[in-house]
Chain A
Amino acid sequence: MNKISQDEIQQWVEKLPLAPGIEPGTENEADVKNYRLLFDLLDEGPKAELSYSFTANLHRRIQAITNRRIGLKWYGIAACLSILGFGFAYCLLFFYSANAAAGFAGVINKYKWMLLFIGACFLIVQFLEGYLNNRQKQMQ
């Protein structure tokens, strides 16, 4: 009989195909027994447990993410509508009077940094909200 390795004993215990003539002998009896026990225990898996509130907590977190996404979507739509509104107002004014349109554009140009600052503040608040929520979750 060929000498049998630990890998081959494992394969034999698992009933996986082996080369002809490869079979554990009496000298491997203890190994076979221990591998059988080990495989039984490994197949049972760990006694991993989740709390009963797992699904409820998962739903709550998914709902929070969904709400946040919906909120961001609406903020985006609102931002786009505002830009379109300004454009539309400019076109209307231009159609009515080129001078009025130029005045409107001048006002927008005058306050452009303030408008950009408000937009940036809004984005920073959104980012910090997400960041702090994650931190809070990690701290818990």
Chain B
Amino acid sequence: MKHLNPNRRLLSMFNENQVIAKVLQGDMRAFDLLVKQYEKLVCYVIYRMIKNKEDMEDVCQDVFIKVYCNLSQFDHRAKLSTWIAKIAYLTAVSHLKKNKQNAATNYPDNLDDLHFTNEHPEQLLTRKDTAEYLEHMIAQLPEKYRVVITLYHLKEFSYTEIGEITGLPEGTVKTHLFRARQLLKDALTAN
């Protein structure tokens, strides 16, 4: 399994318009570059949206297939990343509907014990546990909260763009983001 650390060299070489033009001409190497560029974005959105992790890879593939098949319809009015994120979000929502995983979940009352420590030698282990615990908590947030918090912390999109992706008004995006983070902070504080 590979970790999704973005390849900085590829990122710096990525020329959106040039890559799109090449993909439209059927250049699969250009498409690979596009996949490499946006796999982190797609994977994060799908990972946070879909609870069944076995389906994650298939849904990620579905997203990139839709990107490949519909790239000629991309009108450059939004960023390519916004367009791809919207496809990822809508594909995940569609998958959830098909698989009826979209049931609302309540924030749990009983939280596992976690101790937050300051900088010391045990920090790495504690931080890993905390990260896993945080993912567990995020998975229990409502779908809209999950997607908003994921997209915002990718540091790629503005509130307006997140609204464009999710179909939510900008104010609602902000409310969801602040509320979700407060819920998560409270969960961390409780430990």
Contacts and interface: CB of A to CB of B under 8 A. Distances in A.
Contacts of A51: 1-2, 57
A17 interface: no
Given A46-B135, A50-B39, A38 B47 contact: no
Contact of B57 (A35, A46, A54, A62): A54
Interface in B45-73: 46-48, 56-58, 60-61, 64-65, 68-69
Contacts of A6: 178, 182, 185
A49 B178 contact: no
Given A10-B181, A42-B149, A55-B32, A50 B130 contact: no
Contact of B2 (A7, A52, A58): A52
A113 B130 CA distance: 69
Interface in A52-97: 52, 54-55, 57-59, 61-62, 65
Nearest to B39: A50
A51 B43 CA distance: 12
B77 interface: no
Contacts, number: 98
Chain B residues touching A, majority SS: helix
Interface residues of B, number: 43
B153 A42 contact: yes
A107 interface: no
A49 B1 contact: yes
Contacts of B14: none
A43 B154 CA distance: 7
B35 to A, nearest CB: 6
Interface string B1-12: 111100000000
Nearest to B64: A58
A39 B116 CA distance: 14
A30 B69 CA distance: 50
A48 B4 contact: yes
User: Interface size bucket, A side?
Assistant: 20 to 34
Contacts of B35: 55, 58
Contacts of B100: none
Given A39-B153, A48-B44, A58-B64, 13 more contacts: A10-B178, A35-B181, A37-B188, A41-B130, A41-B134, A43-B153, A45-B150, A46-B47, A50-B2, A51-B1, A54-B60, A61-B61, A61-B65
Interface of B: 1-4, 28, 31-32, 35, 39-40, 43-44, 46-48, 56-58, 60-61, 64-65, 68-69, 116, 127, 130-131, 134-135, 138, 149-150, 153-155, 178, 181-182, 184-185, 188-189
Interface of A: 6-7, 10, 30-31, 34-35, 37-39, 41-52, 54-55, 57-59, 61-62, 65, 137
